[in-house]
Amino acid sequence: MPRRSSPTGSELFIVDNSDEDWKVVRYLRDWCQISRAIDIATGYFEIGSLLALKDEWQKVDQIRILMGDEVSRRTKNAFAAGLENVKQRLDRKRHSNPIYEKKH
């Protein structure tokens, strides 16, 4: 793992899969152990990258992903399922809130 030169850890570090020994999944797994937040920018996002981390990514308080508009079918389906889950939870909260029911 690269050594930090800044006490804040704010320096930019670029990782790609071109190096045989230094893959993105290894980097993410290592950083999940020591980071509270991870920012990822990628042109092509595949949900398998998070799945490959197993439970490691849940040790991080925040993951932000900036990605291009190309994703795999599996990723697109995972996003659709996640959005549907959020929508259903919000609908249940809305319908169980008496204040909302009185105003609308």
Half-sphere exposure of 69 (CA within 13 A, CB side): 0
Element (H, E) at 67: strand 62-71
In percent, the amount of the chain with pLDDT more than 90 equals: 27
Residues with Cβ within 8 Å of 9's Cβ and at least 6 positions away in sequence, in order, are 35
In this structure, are residues 66 and 93 in contact, taking their beta carbons and an 8 Å threshold? no
Is residue 73 over pLDDT 90?
Answer: yes
- Give 17-40 pLDDT, tens digit per residue: 787 777 888 888 888 999 899 888
